[in-house]
Chain A
Amino acid sequence: MYVAVKGGERAIANAHRLLEHERRGDRSVPEIGTAQIEQQLSLAVDRVMSEGSLYDRALAALAIKQARGDLIEAIFLIRAYRTTLPRFGFSVPLDTAAMAIRRRISSTYKDLPGGQVLGPTFDYTHRLLDFALAAEGEPEAPATAPVDTELRFPRVTDLIAEDDLIERNPPADPAGPVGDLTREPLAFPAERDLRLQNLARGDEGFLLALGYSTQRGYGRNHPFVGEIRMGEVEVEFEIPELGITVSLGAVTLTECQMVNQFKGSLTEPAKFTRGYGLSFGHCERRAMSMSLVDRALRADELGEERTSPAQDEEFVLSHSDNIQATGFVEHLKLPHYVDFQAELALLRQMRREHEARQNTYPEAAE
């Protein structure tokens, strides 16, 4: 006697309960607080905010806790929340030249106005496990220096541009429409603003691999890090009804300006080209990868032959989103037995026909 499988609802409810239990882990160990995540796993918070496209450290920390540290799952939680928020408008374009600098380095000049500021970086740490950390020791307080209010940090690309040696940024177009791929479906070919938005939300691993591939010859574009800067930038919102601009607060950003191989022609003097990367928080790897891929995607515009994956706009933009990717890859675990049954039936029929042919014409099978 066969009884069909039932009880889906109870199974789901129980699975959720078990998941919560596993998330908590051993209850004799103190529960982690979202403030601890926000403060002590801050780079995970930065990644979740960047790919979640939502600047809110507390919510990102909550998402990381709820997702048991699975950052793509946390990004998913943030995205699903973000989509329910009402839109009031667009901010005034951010001025990263006016950033309150916490880190700023250039690999194209030994020294420059404002100087090289290392800031909090893993760069010159030796990757040796610090067993003292396991004992929860307090670190030293950071070194300090008097604040120099006169100090300015002009963008390296602006300095090069003064000599007309690098392509100019396109002029600002305040009246132009602001593209937003979360409000309108992406159509190809896409404009650079939508490409940059797509990359800014893109999976860090995907961007890293593509950026790396350009360095290995798949769409090489001779990059120099003109500048990486990280710090706080003011976000301003214009209220047209009142004709005033108000500050909404400051966000932490990482910006990478890549200076790339020069271009010139009989009519145009040779100039360096640019690739651009921007990220919420301190996400240097993603800003750098993004700028490499941005430059690669400008192949058509700069008259370069598209030969490599990183230069293929449709390929890159269609596969960069890890929430789309993880959903579709993981959907394979949903039941597919109806389709599988259809395939089984055809396969069995073809096998029978094959057998019949062999029995009828045994010599043909030789």
Chain B
Amino acid sequence: MSRTAENYRGYNFAYLDEQTKRMIRRAILKAIAIPGYQVPFASREMPMPYGWGTGGVQVTAAILGPSDVLKVIDQGADDTTNAVSIRQFFEKTAGVETTTETGKASVIQTRHRIPEAKLQANQVLVYQVPIPEPLRFLEPRETETRTLHALAEYGLMHVRLYEDIAQHGHIAKTYAYPVLVADRYVMDPSPIPKFDNPKMHESAALQLFGAGREKRIYAVPPHTKVVSLDFEDHPFEATKFEQPCALCGAKDSYLDEVITDDRGGRMFVCSDTHHCETRRCEGHLGPLGMPVTEAAE
């Protein structure tokens, strides 16, 4: 028995029923109108586990149309298992064109990264969000954090970040680093490395965030001020790497560490697989890279 497209015939375009899409769309419009504010929505049970991208999948399903081109990445890569699984889900249920090329995509769903290539107007970046509440690590209660946002009372957050400086000499947050959106709401950018934070600021693309289990949707419109929280004496600093990508030689991309043997061998390669491939196609080569040819696939 084959478990392919026929099994999905009973479902609506992009899986969700129209009633659910309308509910999500209404939440998205509010989210765009109130940048950084977490709009509660009646998140549905999806055919994939909570915590595995159900929020992002619902947002993508609600916005997707037949003319869209979809790219899905996890950890920056198009070929990680969860990215493959979500891409297949939309291929089956919406029949939309998919791509790995950042520039070709109209909708990009991501987990944990922002692509290295600068995003353009009319592109939508959909983030999968595990814990949408930036104050959650300070205060577990929703009733409390909601009041803090209402009052724009973010002193507690600054105190906590400063405690890090006192103790470690650094703000010890390296991912999910909180940002202030449009001078009003402190927002969790999802667990992207803080290396990616500056890309959110004044991005030409619309950024939508979906948290399925926690039932929240939020947004950063294009060309919106997004500032990583910091202090005058300890300004925000994005992570820097000491070596270039071993494959493509990029000096300005986010790198994954790969263990190559059991004698301490390490290499660093671009986490954005499409970025790395594009550079190698253009002839850039790192110390361990080989030119990309048709056969290399």
Name A's B-contacting residues (CB within 8 A): 1-2, 4-9, 11-12, 16, 76, 79-80, 82-84, 86, 182-189, 314, 318, 323-324, 326-331, 334-339, 341-346, 349-350, 353
Contact = CB atoms under 8 A, between A and B. Distances in A.
A99 B168 CA distance: 65
A279 B142 CA distance: 29
A8 B290 CA distance: 22
B193 A339 contact: yes
B172 to A, nearest CB: 7
B200 to A, nearest CB: 16
B116 to A, nearest CB: 13
A341 B193 contact: yes
B26 interface: no
A16 B3 contact: yes
Interface in B21-70: 40-47, 49-52, 54
Given A8-B81, A334-B82, A339-B191, A346 B172 contact: yes
Lowest 10 CB-CB distances: which A-B pairs, in order?
A327-B50, A331-B51, A327-B49, A342-B174, A328-B51, A185-B40, A8-B84, A342-B193, A327-B51, A339-B175
Contacts of A353: 169
A84 B256 contact: no
A343 B170 CA distance: 12
Contacts of A349: 170
Q: Which of B143, B267, B269 has the most CB of A within 10 A?
A: B143
A342 B194 contact: yes
Given A187-B40, A334-B74, 17 more contacts: A1-B290, A2-B260, A4-B247, A83-B44, A182-B44, A185-B215, A314-B141, A323-B49, A324-B50, A326-B49, A327-B213, A338-B112, A338-B254, A339-B176, A341-B254, A346-B170, A346-B174
Contacts of A328: 50-51, 130, 213
Contacts of A187: 40
Contacts of B51: 327-331, 334
5 contacts: A16-B3, A185-B42, A327-B51, A342-B239, A346-B174
B61 to A, nearest CB: 12
B71 interface: no
B186 interface: no
B85 interface: yes
B143 A188 contact: yes
A183 B19 CA distance: 10
B88 interface: yes
B254 to A, nearest CB: 7
B11 interface: yes
B208 interface: no
Question: What secondary structure prevails in chain A residues at the interface with B?
Answer: helix
Interface centre among A1, A84, A187, by most chain B C-beta atoms within 10 angstroms, is A84
A2 B193 contact: no
B178 interface: no
B106 to A, nearest CB: 22
Nearest to B49: A327
B80 to A, nearest CB: 6
B290 A79 contact: no
A84 B40 CA distance: 20
A161 to B, nearest CB: 34
Contacts of A338: 75-76, 112-113, 175, 191-193, 254, 256, 271
Contacts of A343: 174-175
Contact of B88 (A9, A84, A182, A345): A9
A344 B175 CA distance: 11
A86 B143 CA distance: 32
Contacts of B84: 8-9, 12
Contact of B80 (A8, A324, A339): A8
A301 B256 CA distance: 54
Given A2-B247, A8-B81, A341-B255, A80 B75 contact: no
A285 B49 CA distance: 27
A296 to B, nearest CB: 18
Interface string B152-184: 000000000000000011101011100000000
A314 B136 CA distance: 14
A117 B241 CA distance: 73
Contacts of B172: 346
B168 A350 contact: yes
Nearest to A326: B49
A339 B15 CA distance: 31
